[in-house]
Structure 1
Amino acid sequence: MSATNVIKNALIVTAHPVDNSLSHSLANRIAGQLREQGTQVEIADLHAEGFNPAMSRPDLDLYHGDASALPDDIQREQQRVDRADKLVFVFPVYWWSVPGLLKGWFDRVLTLNWAYKVAEDGRIVGNLRDVPVHLIATAGTDVSGFDKHGYSTAIQTQIVEGVFGFCGLKNVTLDILYQADTATPAQVEDFLRGLDSIK
């Protein structure tokens, strides 16, 4: 999608169990910014909606190519993604990655022949419409701690490339609010103002 394309619909996915958490606050603020620009916003609050992240037999059947096994909840999530011209994921960093709930969403929703396919020559080909993706994470430690232990690289490899790149999404931005547990309201505001791809 070029910069000249208008974003008509955005999907914001959150994965935090506490309604008044910083993750939800950020998601709501971003939703407000997008709505001010005339964008329709849908928020998928995975905790509030009771999304089941556990792989089931029908999910594994899908993985093996049986499209008739698509569960209703996965069809609903895929329709949400199909409607969106922009995807935003807001989540806390747990053990240097996304929360298990969001990982389960990746596992179950990004299915074979919808999110990716196997070409005739055996190559894996991303199948999703290439819309902008913005990952917004909150982290308890500082950037030096992430960089020192390679966690920044791990998130880039696992999530940006290993999930979204695998599915054909190339315009992926990752922003992390470090030391989020002690961030002041002013620091949160500065962080929000720095999210250029939301503007």
Structure 2
Amino acid sequence: MSGTHVIDTALIVTAHPVENSLSHTLAARIAARLREQGTQVEIADLHAEAFTPAMQRADLALYHGDASALPADILREQQRVERADMLVFVFPVYWWSVPGLLKGWFDRVLTLNWAYKVAEDGRIVGNLRDVPVRLIATGGSDLTGFDKHGYSTAIHTQLVEGVFGFCGLKNVRLDILYQADTASSEQIDDFLHNLESVM
């Protein structure tokens, strides 16, 4: 976790309901490694904080141009993102995508005129500060299973391009710990070790 850029602050977002899950274990170990390097780490545990993922009336009003409609919980999440020099998302893969809780975080937090805007010529322009984004996923299948029906490409397209690229973030990397349900401690250690060069 020693990239060429200086990371003063990192935001780690988790979306798993079980405190001792592999997702939380990975998040805690990544946080510890970053802290060893002097990085200040904030963890947003969306389950523990009872984040509401469903779009609200105020969210839609905001999308339609009512800037006064920004909900307090979304302002808090946006401020967390603004403070961070790196964004790390740690989550299990559900049905070849992110859990509904994290999808709802994307839906509600990445708002029009904050995460992206419409230019005068009608183009969509990313609006976020271009900080590194690391997507750390755990998957029950192996790489062959992900590739078999194009799921690896689909996840990459959805997240790397469709969410973060849309918001102007270019340094985005997706790493999946495959066969996570049966991964040994050595396999988990190897996975984390391989992440160090890109964190």
Is TM > 0.5 for Structure 1 vs Structure 2?
yes
Aligned to 2:137: 137
Q: Can you list the C-alpha shifts for 1:142-188, whole angstroms capped at 9, x where unaligned?
A: 00010111000000111110000000000001100000000000100
**Paired residue type of 2:23:** S
Aligned to 1:167: 167
2:58 matched to 1:58?
A: yes
Structure 2 distance, partners of 1:109, 1:146, is: 28
How does the TM-score come out when normalised to structure 1? 0.97
Structure 2 distance, partners of 1:59, 1:65, is: 10
- Off by >2 Å, runs of 4+ in structure 1: none
Structure 2 distance, partners of 1:25, 1:149, is: 30
Aligned to 1:29: 29
Structure 2 distance, partners of 1:39, 1:50, is: 26
| Aligned-pair identity (%) | 82
User: The residue matched to 2:175 in structure 1 has which SS?
Assistant: strand
Structure 2 spans left out of the alignment, 5+ residues:
none
- Aligned-residue RMSD, C-alpha: 0.7
Aligned to 1:76: 76
Structure 1 spans left out of the alignment, 5+ residues:
none
**Paired residue type of 2:77:** E
Structure 2 distance, partners of 1:94, 1:5, is: 32
1:5 Cα deviation (Å)? Answer: 3.4
1:83-94 → structure 2 map (5 Å cutoff)? 83-94=83-94
Aligned to 1:42: 42
User: The residue matched to 1:135 in structure 2 has which SS?
Assistant: strand
1:4 Cα deviation (Å)? Answer: 4.4
Structure 1 distance, partners of 2:191, 2:53, is: 30
Structure 1 distance, partners of 2:5, 2:25, is: 27
